[in-house]
Amino acid sequence: MNLHILKTPDLLGREAATQTASLLKEAIASKGSARLILSTGASQFETLHHLRNSDVDWSKVEMFHLDEYIGVDSSHPASFVKYLKERFIMDLQLKNAYLIDGTADTNQVIAEVTAHLRKAPIDVALIGIGENSHIAFNDPPADFDTKEAFITVALDEACKQQQVREGWFATMDDVPKLAITMSPWQIMQSKVIISAVPHSQKAKAVKATLESELTNQIPATMLKTHSDWTLYLDEASAALL
């Protein structure tokens, strides 16, 4: 594990984006294309801002995203498809962007995105850590055993509370009960994992992740077993270390 603590979320995002862009350019130089997984949520704002403004040849980059609410269409303010289109994809002219449709048949969506994902290795994955220590929507206790690329999961109460607190939904009752998410096993198949985790709300999850043994009750502990994981914190998220 490589740990970097920056003063502010913007400096964190700039550093995480710089490393990500460098890895993408290396992949393009060596094999002509690159494959990228993106996280969403409020903690990724700065990283995605700096990344989309990096000097990467985006026409040679394929992008996947981690998860989507079931039953939420791309016009909903909380839609991760909407989020990525507005905060990253817009005007970049990517080689491909494989997005999860939360309103289509779940089994078909999973089958299609899995087929695309498994055509070639992922060069770099930006994987956030939730307030309940989830990775993607793998809330505790996460399924560490499945080898499926994407699975259907039920969101726990802490996860729903985070979505309301960040302003994506008005009330707990508005948060969907189910989501499609990339599995922990599939996340770990990425060549490089980078986690941008700013803000004081993440301090407890960061402490639990770094100070606990591997356990599906703290899903982010799985990231520590990866051979090339870099964690970027700001002073607020690192406050309890």
168 vs 22, more confident: 22
Mean pLDDT of 35-62: 96
pLDDT at 164 over 90: no
pLDDT at 159 over 90: no
With beta carbons less than 8 A apart as the criterion, state whether 62 and 92 touch: no
pLDDT at 91 over 90: no
Mean pLDDT of 16-42: 97
pLDDT at 145 over 90: yes
pLDDT of residue 197: 98
Segment among 45-49, 156-160, 198-202 with least mean pLDDT: 156-160
Q: How far is CA 46 from CA 99, 157, 215, 228, in A?
A: 21, 27, 29, 22
Q: Rounded to the nearest 10 degrees, what angle do helices 9-31 and 45-52 cross at?
A: 40
pLDDT of residue 69: 92
Mean pLDDT of 177-187: 96
78 band by pLDDT with thresholds 50, 70 and 90: confident
All structural domains of the chain:
2-210 (3.40.50.1360)
pLDDT of residue 119: 97
Mean pLDDT of 42-60: 96
Distance in angstroms (rounded) separating the CA atoms of residues 222 and 235: 23
Mean pLDDT of 102-106: 95
pLDDT of residue 162: 82
Please report where in the chains the tokens 């690159």 appear, as a residue. Answer: 34
pLDDT of residue 11: 98
**Strands 34-38 and 61-65: what pairing?**
parallel
CA 149 to chain centre: 14
pLDDT of residue 173: 84
pLDDT at 160 over 90: no
pLDDT at 203 over 90: yes
Residue 165: phi and psi, rounded to 5, are: -60, -35
pLDDT at 176 over 90: no
pLDDT at 30 over 90: yes
pLDDT of residue 156: 82
Average pLDDT over the chain, rounded to an integer? 95
pLDDT of residue 8: 98
